[in-house]
Copies of this chain bind each other. A is one copy, B any other.
């Protein structure tokens, strides 16, 4: 299998990242950050979440964010929509795509959504029926697709059953979420091969976390398995509720840098993207996990005159 020569990078920091922040980021700042992302050439953005503002107060301004952000031609704004109420909010706000989650792990689904996988699959069917007459795109997202922090390994049959359910309901795309960073290169290869064999017409996206430092290695395993769509977060925004101090989502700039250095196109301007991540860092007032935003691309050279060196 040859590696794709173009990949789609879906920015999830505005949703998956910001939802974990303690402080509310002003709506105008969110809009400016999203405008910065589209200006840098990111077309596909998971922009916010239509969930209960009590559950996720950080994203209570979902409708205003969608109304305020520029929508350049070719852009696609996705939003999380966990139930019919969320879906209605998404439609009213002219979201291009809804993302509907469930977990491949029974205990994680119970903890996260307060219901069984079976019950969640029923909910997904209701949502699909509800949007059937609308042009909104549907993406299924399977959390803990590569492992569960409570249960360990995931039964491939459970994963396939959920993926098949999404497909049968007309979901065009499917994200495999590595919610707590348990994916490994062999697991990625096996999982992608299995799903491609049984569901060849589903567009697969991989969503890795860098919790154990190997997020970008898993991206390369995904590329080698033929996947050309990845989710990541500006600056590596986001974290892991199970491992204090550990990284969350893989970082968009680092991913873009790697793709470009491997000769794979993304349509994204890395220098502009770095500026957006630096702005996010200054908004949040703390250092983010991203590396390229600190070091710059490899040929951003340094002045010989003032440099200090240490052998190594």
A interface residue numbers (CB < 8 A to B): 12, 15-16, 19-20, 51, 80, 82, 101, 107-108, 111-113, 143, 147, 149-153, 177, 179-182, 184-186, 210-214, 216-217, 220, 238, 240-249, 251, 254, 257-258, 261-263, 287, 290-292, 294-299, 301-304, 307-312
Contact = CB atoms under 8 A, between A and B. Distances in A.
Contact of A295 (B211, B262, B291, B295): B211
B241 A309 contact: yes
A33 to B, nearest CB: 18
Contacts of A246: 291, 294-295
Please tell me how many copies of the chain the complex holds.
2
Contacts of A185: 220, 258, 261-262
A59 to B, nearest CB: 11
Given A212-B254, A212-B291, 11 more contacts: A15-B312, A80-B311, A82-B311, A101-B311, A150-B307, A152-B299, A186-B263, A213-B290, A214-B254, A217-B220, A249-B312
Contacts of A263: 186
Given A185-B262, A186-B262, A311-B101, A295 B214 contact: no
Contacts of A294: 243-246
Nearest to A307: B111
B307 A258 contact: no
Contacts of A240: 295
A247 B302 contact: no
A111 B309 contact: yes
B182 A298 contact: yes
Q: Of residues A12, A211, A298, which shows the largest number of chain B Cβ atoms within 10 Å of its Cβ?
A: A298
Given A214-B216, A257-B214, A150 B295 contact: no
Contact of A241 (B184, B297, B310): B310
B307 A241 contact: yes
B257 A19 contact: no
